[in-house]
Amino acid sequence: MRERVSLYIYENGRILIFRRIKENRAYYVAIGGGIEPGETVAEAAIREAKEETNYDIVLGPLLWQREQPGEYREFAFLVTLFSGELALGGPELATQTLENQHIFQWQPLDELSQIDLFPGPVTAGHVARIRELAHSFT
């Protein structure tokens, strides 16, 4: 089963996500990706943040861990401490075309449960947990 880290990078009441356009379809994806062989969950989170956003992060608390049977196991983390200039990198930049786009979007936290975000769903309970922990770490 594939293991994945999701990073909920929080600033000023908003979460950084990707708006994806792929094969004429638009959808949203949490920052993050697969855990590579021999890599810890924390190492994967730090690597994915750097690859996808160019941010150096301090990994915050685990928000949730959940499994989509037969598909993936997700480890979702809050990130409130980060530095660097936001820039797309890694495989996402290498495969960027008009038909395959990764567009950064700062999504208001209160609207996060209203969009179709992968991996998901992100429920009102998840949003409440992000809000609660973000206020204690900012």
In angstroms, rounded to a whole number, what is the distance separating the alpha carbons of residues 76 and 29?
A: 13
Average per-residue pLDDT in the chain? 95
Res. 70 pLDDT band, cuts 50 70 90: confident
In angstroms, rounded to a whole number, what is the distance separating the alpha carbons of residues 61 and 77?
A: 6
Looking at the domain covering 2-137, what would its CATH class be?
alpha beta
pTM: 0.95
Decide if pLDDT at 78 tops 80.
yes
pLDDT at 138: 63
- Phi, then psi, of 104 in degrees rounded to 5: -65, 140
Res. 137 pLDDT band, cuts 50 70 90: confident
pLDDT at 24: 87
Decide if pLDDT at 8 tops 90.
yes
CB atoms within 10 A of CB 50: 15
Q: Which two tokens stand for residue 7?
A: 């990073």
Read off the DSSP letter of residue 116. Answer: -
pLDDT at 1: 85
User: Can you tell me the mean pLDDT for 102-110?
Assistant: 97
- Percentage of residues in the chain having pLDDT higher than 90: 88
